[in-house]
Amino acid sequence: METYLYDYLTMLRVERNLSPNSILAYSRDLNRYLVFVQKKFGLPNISKIKQSQIRSYFRHLNGQGLAPRSISRAFSSIRSYHRFLETEGVTEANPTQMLEAPKLPKRLPSVLSVEEVQSLLEAIPVDTPIGQRDAALIECLYSAGLRVSEICDLGLTDLLQEEDMIRVIGKGNKERLVPLGSIAMKRLDQYFKHVRPGFARKGPNKGRIFLSRNGRPLTRMTVFNILRKWSQAAGLRKAISPHTLRHSFATHLLEGGADLRAVQEMLGHADISTTQIYTHLDKEYLKEVHRTFHPRWQ
């Protein structure tokens, strides 16, 4: 069965300028979908896919215990793919057109308190090369609210030291400038002076700022592991990821009185409604405290 998947992924890369990670996610979602409909229904042509068969695929995903967010992402990928096939004239109709997207449970992002962030950073010994690197890394994540892919891709030319800012290439290859606090700049300066030159001599680094012991750019998984290591050392019981620090960055700015549109710009959100979720955190936190500790809560 001709799927035209290669043409679709090429369009995402060339016309929509999606990142390699986003294209990989689309590719995985769609390959799983196409393998399923081919094996289960033996379709001779992609134009023969019916709405009922797509529903069958989502029942299959649900039966596998896939997280609602993963199912929702798969739906978005499949709908976009069929829209492309219709636009290109490969199919006469889009079988996903009348399907409703899976409902996602409302979930507020997990955040750290200011005190928890402080505990996390104080747990890192800065008298070792790895400690100096990790302190600079985590200070940058929290100071600028970066995504994990953004911190991994941060290059030497992206650091604008005279302006105390960094240039960030975000989703859709969109560029933004984000201020860095004085503490993060100090940690970076120490890392550049005492650690990075020794690491950089050991391997190809593509001009990235944050490197591993062997001189290679840090991977996303390495950053996750670094955070897990130091959060455990700090005695924090929450599951902490780079996105937890990003959420904390936004929440603490808004709690301090920052303008919502300024926070939107620093986070690199295309739509302000994405940023507005952080304005609800105070109310939800108060209700959670009341629910947990008030003696008359049933």
- The set of catalytic residues is 147, 171, 243, 246, 269, 278
Between CA 50 and CA 38 the distance in angstroms is 12
DSSP H helices, 88-195, are 114-122, 129-144, 148-153, 182-194
CB pairs under 8 A, 24+ apart, for 281-288? Answer: 281/108, 281/109, 281/111, 281/251, 281/254, 282/255, 284/108
User: β-pairing, 159-160 with 165-169?
Assistant: antiparallel
Q: Taking the C-alpha atoms of 271, 273, 278 and 283 in order, what is their torsion angle to the nearest 10 degrees?
A: 170
* Residues written for the chain: 298
Note whether 141 and 166 are within 8 A (CB): no
Tokens, residue 266? 């620093």
- Which of 35, 33, 115 shows the shortest CA–CA distance to 70? 33
* Residue 126 vs residues 132, 135, 227: alpha-carbon distances, Å: 5, 7, 15
Between CA 230 and CA 240 the distance in angstroms is 10
- In the DSSP assignment, the letter for residue 43 is -
Between CA 252 and CA 285 the distance in angstroms is 13
Tokens, residue 183? 């503490």
Tokens, residue 132? 């100096």
